[in-house]
Amino acid sequence: MQERSGLISIAVPCFNEQKGIRHFVETLTPVLETLGHPYEILFVDDGSTDDTLAILTVLANADPRLKVIGLTRNFGKEAALTAALDFVSGDAVIPMDADLQDPVELVPCMVARWEAGAEIVLAHRQARPGDSAARRWAARRFYRIISRLSAIPIPADVGDFRLIDRKVVECVRQLPEKTRFMKGILAWPGFHSETLEFTRPPRQTGGSKWPLWKLFNFALDGIFSFSTAPLRVWTYLGVALSLFSLGYLLWVMGKTLLLGVDVPGYASTLSVILFFNGIILIGLGILGEYLGRVFVEVKGRPVYLVKSTVGFDTKT
């Protein structure tokens, strides 16, 4: 067994969490006290429009183990988590949500696995009773699709809640892409991983900040960021349609030579034109998705901007 006594960092992206942030700290802190490790809790306020940042500032000023980063605006959870990984100091890092849907009781189990040699400890959601049936169905479909399309294995039903060793954090910090799909980015380095099973509890406060349309766009980011399969599909589809068109052309020529010329039907011609125009537009849309991501990367803008920090020394 590998003995470790390093710092444990909890990374918490926050957006409009004023109702539950104190309860989160009060629930998490006693669990961290039992670990036998020094710890820090790093909050990243992602441009909250309520009093989340003010409350976090008060909490951090009262407890030196709490640190706060305030972003200049809402950059999105993926950017906030990126900022957290850039600023944490721990030998092991555990990203968590502030709504307590990531059970704090799993943290000691994760640390125990890490002490035993695991470099990544995944928290696999066996059930999600707090989510709607539509959301659960969409999640299953997404993980099934991306597991088939992605060039790297992305664990199904595993969110950002996991333990990652410092060496994994350093690898992730080297990845420069601006469109951040953190589930894929955290899986990309590899390393030895183990899995813990849990049932995700209902949200303690507030509601989901991820409506279905936003989840759909997030799923597209994941697919287009970690797979070129959509582009390859259109190559295969183009070849298949070309062969079909050639066969149909030969059939029409043979029918015309043998049976004479029929008066072409307006409805069938229009249907064929509309069908192939739809295919072309879908293909252009997929090309546009990839081109848009190239455009974002080429501009080279930062993933996030920091407005304020609390609890860091002057060197940070």
pLDDT in tens, 108-140: 988 888 888 888 888 887 766 556 666 666 666
Q: What is the mean pLDDT of the chain?
A: 78
What's the confidence (pLDDT) of residue 265? 57
Give the per-residue pLDDT at 35: 86
Q: How far apart are CA 279 and CA 307, in angstroms?
A: 46
Q: Tell me the residue type at 306.
A: V
- Distance (Å, whole) CA 116 – CA 133: 38
Q: Which residues contact 13 (CB under 8 A, 6 or more apart)?
A: 44, 46, 77, 80, 81, 84, 95, 97, 98
Compute φ and ψ for 164, nearest 5 degrees: -130, 135
Q: Which of 3, 4, 187, 33 is nearest to 104 (CA)?
A: 33
72, two tokens: 């200049």
CA distance linking residue 148 with residue 272, whole number of Å:
31
Please tell me the predicted confidence (pLDDT) of residue 43.
93
* Average pLDDT value for residue range 72-94: 89
pTM value is 0.71
- 61-67 CB contacts, 8 Å cutoff, 24+ apart: 61/310, 61/311, 64/311, 65/39, 65/40, 65/41, 66/25, 66/40, 66/41, 66/311, 67/40, 67/41, 67/42, 67/43, 67/309, 67/310, 67/311, 67/312
Fold of 8-227+302-310: Spore Coat Polysaccharide Biosynthesis Protein SpsA; Chain A (3.90.550)
Average pLDDT over residues 141-159: 71
Give the pLDDT band (50/70/90) at residue 10.
very high
Confidence class for position 203, pLDDT limits 50, 70, 90 = low
Q: Which residue has the tokens 């059970």?
A: 103
pLDDT at 41: 92
Confidence at residue 287, expressed as pLDDT on a 0 to 100 scale: 79
Q: pLDDT digit string (tens) for 229-286?
A: 677 777 777 777 777 777 776 776 676 667 665 556 555 666 667 677 777 777 777 7
Sheet of 8-14, strands arranged across? 193-199, 120-127, 158-165, 92-95, 8-14, 39-45, 66-71, 306-310
- 72 versus 181: the higher-pLDDT residue is 72
SS3 for 214-261 is HHHHHHHHHHHHHCCHHHHHHHHHHHHHHHHHHHHHHHHHHHHHHHCC
- Looking from the CA of 256 toward its CB, the CA atoms found within 13 Å total 10
What mean pLDDT do residues 135-150 have? 68
Q: Are strands 158-165 and 120-127 parallel, antiparallel or unpaired?
A: antiparallel
Mean pLDDT of 7-34: 89
Q: What is the pLDDT of residue 3?
A: 46
